[in-house]
């Protein structure tokens, strides 16, 4: 292992990873189920031969996937980032992959310093045995044009209490939506892409479920707007299944990085 001791100081590293969430009870450590966070911490602790804590950029729910999640950990020695990436991938199960490990400034924080997160939610109208874990099958056609009209309403607001899981420990339900749009992937598949500075617990799945109500003609665009203004979870639609949701990107200021993140921009 290539490292050297740095006079009593800890050094902070960002881990860039992806995972298939099918077999996990979400990102966060759970008392009675496997989590991605715990699995990653176990691999790191095994390789570095000491207990390592890992902090993620967010908390994905049970069954939700990540094409790109960022987490940070501290260590008191300088690491060979290429070597630790390779070693972690050998220790981790096939459904979790580490893309890169990067040294960052010692006060950089994977969660609090993130400037945006981007999620994608996939729906399909075709039964597909090879995509059943990664897209939600719809049995009725939807008016995606009307759903996009409703999605644009999100830009007019910052308080999204109506789309938040109840009884969470957050101090504010305010979020700034930067992008929200349905795009057709193929003749039978659509994806909803949403980008914001932060997300509330269960927020994306609740937004998608409410937009589907609009697409089915069960809710008008004006009624969608009223759902937001009600600030009441009971006013919104049901949460859609988690298996079709992917965290796909997390952004940070470049000044956090000791080495520019440009070399991993294509991950």
Domain boundaries, the chain: 11-112, 116-247
Instruction: Label residues 215-251 b or e (16+ Cβ within 10 Å = b).
Output: bbeebeeeebeebbeeeebebbbebbbbbbbbbbbbb
At the topology level of CATH, where does 116-247 sit?
A: Alpha-Beta Plaits (3.30.70)
**61 counts as catalytic:** yes
Q: Which of 229, 224, 227, 233 is nearest to 202 (CA)?
A: 233
Answer yes or no: are the C-beta atoms of 137 and 125 closer than 8 Å.
yes
At the topology level of CATH, where does 11-112 sit?
A: Alpha-Beta Plaits (3.30.70)
What six digits make up the tokens of 43? 């691999």
Res. 166 pLDDT band, cuts 50 70 90 = confident
In sequence order, the 6+-apart residues with CB closer than 8 A to the CB of 255 are 105
Answer yes or no: are the C-beta atoms of 118 and 194 closer than 8 Å.
yes
- Mean pLDDT across 15-38: 94
How crowded is residue 144: how many other Cβ atoms within 10 Å of its Cβ? 19
Any known ligand binding at 116?
Answer: no
pLDDT tens sequence across 241-251: 999 999 999 99
- Mean pLDDT across 112-122: 97
Whole-number pLDDT of residue 7:
46
116-247 has the same fold as 11-112: yes
Res. 168 pLDDT band, cuts 50 70 90 = low
Whole-number pLDDT of residue 65:
97
- Would you say residue 39 has pLDDT above 70? yes
Per annotation, catalytic residue among 20, 61, 113, 249 = 61
pLDDT tens sequence across 44-84: 999 999 999 999 999 899 999 999 999 999 999 899 999 99
Whole-number pLDDT of residue 2:
41
What does DSSP say about strands 136-137 and 116-124: parallel, antiparallel, or unpaired?
parallel
Q: Which of 34, 114, 116, 19 is nearest to 72 (CA)?
A: 114
pTM of this structure: 0.91
């Amino acid at each position: 292992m290539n490292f050297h001791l740095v006079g009593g100081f800890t050094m902070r590293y960002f881990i860039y990873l992806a995972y298939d969430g099918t077999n996990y009870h979400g990102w966060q450590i759970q008392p009675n189920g496997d989590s991605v966070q715990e699995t990653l911490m176990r691999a790191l602790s095994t390789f570095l031969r000491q207990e390592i804590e890992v902090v993620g950029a967010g908390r994905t729910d049970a069954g939700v996937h990540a094409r790109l999640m960022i987490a940070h950990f501290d260590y008191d020695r300088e690491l060979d980032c290429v070597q630790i990436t390779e070693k972690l991938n050998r220790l981790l199960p096939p459904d979790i992959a580490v893309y890169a490990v990067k040294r960052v400034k010692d006060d950089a924080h994977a969660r609090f310093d993130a400037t945006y997160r981007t999620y994608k939610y996939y729906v399909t109208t075709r039964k597909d045995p090879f995509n059943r874990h990664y897209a939600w099958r719809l049995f009725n056609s939807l008016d995606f044009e009307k759903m996009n009209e409703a999605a644009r309403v999100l830009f007019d607001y910052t308080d999204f209490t109506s789309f938040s899981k109840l009884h969470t420990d957050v101090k504010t339900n305010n979020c700034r939506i930067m992008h929200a749009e349905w795009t057709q992937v193929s003749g039978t598949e659509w994806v909803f892409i949403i980008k914001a500075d932060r997300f509330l617990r269960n927020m994306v799945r609740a937004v998608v479920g409410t937009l589907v109500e609009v697409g089915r003609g069960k809710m008008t665009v004006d009624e969608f707007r009223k759902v937001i203004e009600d600030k009441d979870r009971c006013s919104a639609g049901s949460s859609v299944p988690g298996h079709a949701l992917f965290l796909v990107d997390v952004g940070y200021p470049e000044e956090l990085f000791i080495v520019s993140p440009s070399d991993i921009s294509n991950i």
